[in-house]
A and B are shown apart, each in its own frame.
Chain A
């Protein structure tokens, strides 16, 4: 089992992901430079947070042209695990590997704080160790996290059980007040139709041990390991 963490020019959470997987989980992990044209030998690829290409043009818009993205698209098509966190989520939507887009936060502010997330489905390689409805406490840190999709797309991802996490209050209630950024239906994370590609705005890579204020994010990485072991 080998994890890869992709580095784009401007990524800044790659060390958090590397540490969470390598040290906390104790699994083999390597960095993948964005100029690589293959991800052969990897079982899971993480696109970390940050500001790839300085967020120039749009968040994730230029990163999708990095050579590694073609290899990641092929890898995803074959069922490989591809996990985009924050900027990684934005890149995956721009690359067309996930539906929708991430707009500027409704309040226009960059938000950096803990949020409660409700686990909407356990039928993914990222949530198989949780129970449906389980509330996780995981921080966000973004200016463009406002999930948008047109009405047909939104209905499709809701009907297909592709919404993985929603922003809620501490008890797991979906309310307007619990929505930090204006995301449609309080959506914080989704998977693709094949369910092997996850994108989420909150940072499990900043919440994998209690000294960070929460260890809930570890469950996501552990679910990935579980999925790879039982595959």
Chain B
């Protein structure tokens, strides 16, 4: 079984890296892209039925709840 954990900064937290990417798009003519937020993706493999462990991994290790949030895509 596979899971993908996506970690992003909370919408209320400034993302200087995403802002820098967005600001550099003008020279490419990508003028309709108004916002870019940078995050992280973790591909996880697990034994069947251990979804709870992935939840704990996402919550307790991969995310700092002060600044980040996560979502999990199960495959």
Interface residues of A (CB under 8 A from B): 57-58, 61, 65, 93-94, 100-101, 103-108, 146, 148-150, 153, 182
Contact = CB atoms under 8 A, between A and B. Distances in A.
A119 to B, nearest CB: 26
Contacts of B66: 93, 100-101, 148-150, 153
B13 interface: yes
19 contacts: A61-B61, A65-B61, A94-B64, A100-B66, A101-B66, A103-B13, A103-B14, A103-B67, A104-B16, A105-B16, A106-B14, A106-B16, A108-B17, A108-B20, A146-B16, A148-B14, A148-B67, A150-B12, A182-B14
Given A101-B67, A149-B66, A107 B13 contact: no
Given A101-B67, A103-B67, A57 B17 contact: no
Interface of B: 12-14, 16-17, 20, 61-62, 64, 66-67
Nearest to B62: A57
Chain A at the B interface: mostly helix, strand, loop or mixed? loop
Contacts of A107: 16
